[in-house]
Amino acid sequence: MNAEDVEIGTSAPLGATVDSAGVNFSVFSKGATLIELILFDDADGARPARIIPLDASRHRTYHYWHAFVRGLKPGQVYAYRAHGPFAPEQGYRFDGSKVLLDPYGLAVAVPESYQRTEAGRPGADASRAMKSVVADPDRYGWDGDKPLRRPFAGTVVYELHVRGFTCHPSSGVAPAKRGTFAGLIEKIPYLKELGITAVELLPVFQFDPQDTPTGLVNYWGYQPVSLFAPHHAYSSRKEPLGVLDEFRDMVKALHRAGIEVILDVVFNHTTEGGAHGPTLCYRGLANEIYYILDNNGSRYVDYSGCGNTLNANHPIVRRLIQDSLRHWVTHMHVDGFRFDLASILSRDESGRPLPNPPILWDIESDPVLAGTKLIAEAWDAAGLYQVGTFVGDSWLEWNDRFRNDLRRFWRGDNGTVSNLVARLLGSPDIYAHQEREPEKSVNFVTCHDGFTLNDLVSYDRKHNEANGEDNRDGAADNLSWNCGEEGPSDAPVIESLRRRQCKNFLTATLFAAGTPMLLMGDEVRRTQHGNNNAYCQDNEISWFDWRLLDRHADVHRFVALLLEAYQRRSVIVEDINAKLTLNQVLRRARIRWHGVTLDQPDWSEHSHSIAFTLEGTHVEFCVHVMLNAYWEPLTFALPSVPDREPPWRRWIDTALDAPDDICALEMSSAVTQSSYAVRPRSSVVLVSWPA
Residues 6 or more apart from 100 whose CB is under 8 A from it? 79, 80, 81, 82, 279, 280, 281, 284, 285
User: Residue 456 region, left (φ>0) first, then alpha (ψ -120 to 50), else beta?
Assistant: alpha
Task: Give per-residue pLDDT as tens, 557-575.
Answer: 999 999 999 886 434 434 3
Q: How far, in Å, CA of 224 to CA of 29, rounded?
A: 20
Residue 36, helix vs strand vs coil? strand
Q: How far, in Å, CA of 424 to CA of 430, rounded?
A: 12
Q: Is residue 385 part of a domain?
A: no
> Which is it for strands 336-339 and 299-300: parallel, antiparallel or unpaired?
unpaired
Name the helix (H) or strand (E) containing 684: strand 682-688
Does pLDDT of 487 surpass 90? yes
Binning pLDDT at 50, 70 and 90, where does residue 221 land? very high
Query: In 3D, which of 255, 240, 259, 221 has the Cα closest to residue 102?
Result: 240
Q: How many domains would you assign to the chain?
A: 1
CA torsion sign, 251 to 252 to 253 to 254? positive
Q: Is residue 590 part of a domain?
A: yes
Q: How far, in Å, CA of 38 to CA of 48, rounded?
A: 6
Q: Is residue 465 part of a domain?
A: no
- 3-class SS shares of the chain: helix, strand, coil, % to 5: 30, 20, 50
Q: How far, in Å, CA of 313 to CA of 315, rounded?
A: 6
The pLDDT assigned to 290 comes to 98
> Which is it for strands 515-519 and 573-575: parallel, antiparallel or unpaired?
unpaired
Is 340 in the active site? yes
Does pLDDT of 595 surpass 50? yes
Does pLDDT of 598 surpass 70? yes
The pLDDT assigned to 583 comes to 52
Q: How far, in Å, CA of 161 to CA of 623, rounded?
A: 35
Catalytic residue among 95, 159, 302, 340: 340
Q: How far, in Å, CA of 103 to CA of 97, rounded?
A: 18
Does pLDDT of 408 surpass 80? yes
Q: Is residue 247 part of a domain?
A: no
Does pLDDT of 438 surpass 90? no
- DSSP letters of 572-635? -EEETTEE--HHHHHHHSEEEEESSSTT----STT--EEEEEEE-TTSSSEEEEEEE-SSS-EE
Task: Report yes or no: 498 and 458 within 8 Å, Cβ to Cβ.
Answer: yes
Task: Report yes or no: 154 and 567 within 8 Å, Cβ to Cβ.
Answer: yes
What share of the chain in percent tops pLDDT 90? 87
* Cis ω before 355 (30° cut-off from 0): no
Is 377 in the active site? yes
Does pLDDT of 45 surpass 60? yes
Query: In 3D, which of 644, 606, 449, 615 has the Cα closest to residue 625?
Result: 615
Q: How far is CA 353 from the centre of its chain?
A: 24
Q: Is residue 361 part of a domain?
A: no
Q: Where residue 644 sits, what CATH number does that domain have?
A: 2.60.40.1180
Task: Report yes or no: 106 and 16 within 8 Å, Cβ to Cβ.
Answer: yes
The pLDDT assigned to 437 comes to 66
Does pLDDT of 542 surpass 80? yes
Enclosing domain of residue 647: 573-688
Does pLDDT of 229 surpass 60? yes
Q: CA torsion 281→285→289→293, rounded to 10°?
A: 70
CA separation (Å) from 38 to 54, 72, 106, 378, 381? Answer: 10, 13, 17, 40, 38
The pLDDT assigned to 436 comes to 63
Query: In 3D, which of 539, 626, 604, 663 has the Cα closest to residue 167?
Result: 539
* Cis ω before 659 (30° cut-off from 0): yes
Q: Is residue 596 part of a domain?
A: yes
Residue 389, helix vs strand vs coil? coil
User: Residue 388 region, left (φ>0) first, then alpha (ψ -120 to 50), else beta?
Assistant: left
Tell me how far apart the 2 most distant CA atoms of the chain are, in Å.
91
Query: In 3D, which of 571, 583, 475 has the Cα closest to residue 530?
Result: 475
Catalytic residue among 245, 249, 323, 377: 377
Helical residues (DSSP H) of 257-306, grouped into ranges: 282-290
Burial class, 216, CB count within 10 angstroms (exposed 0-12 / middle 13-18 / buried 19+): middle
Q: Is residue 30 part of a domain?
A: no
Q: How far, in Å, CA of 536 to CA of 220, rounded?
A: 7
Q: How far, in Å, CA of 176 to CA of 180, rounded?
A: 9
The pLDDT assigned to 589 comes to 65
Q: Is residue 337 part of a domain?
A: no
- DSSP letters of 198-230? EEEES--B-B-TT-SSTT----S---BS-SSSB
The pLDDT assigned to 566 comes to 86
Q: How far, in Å, CA of 126 to CA of 381, rounded?
A: 34
Task: Name the average pLDDT for the chain.
Answer: 94
Q: How far, in Å, CA of 148 to CA of 159, rounded?
A: 18
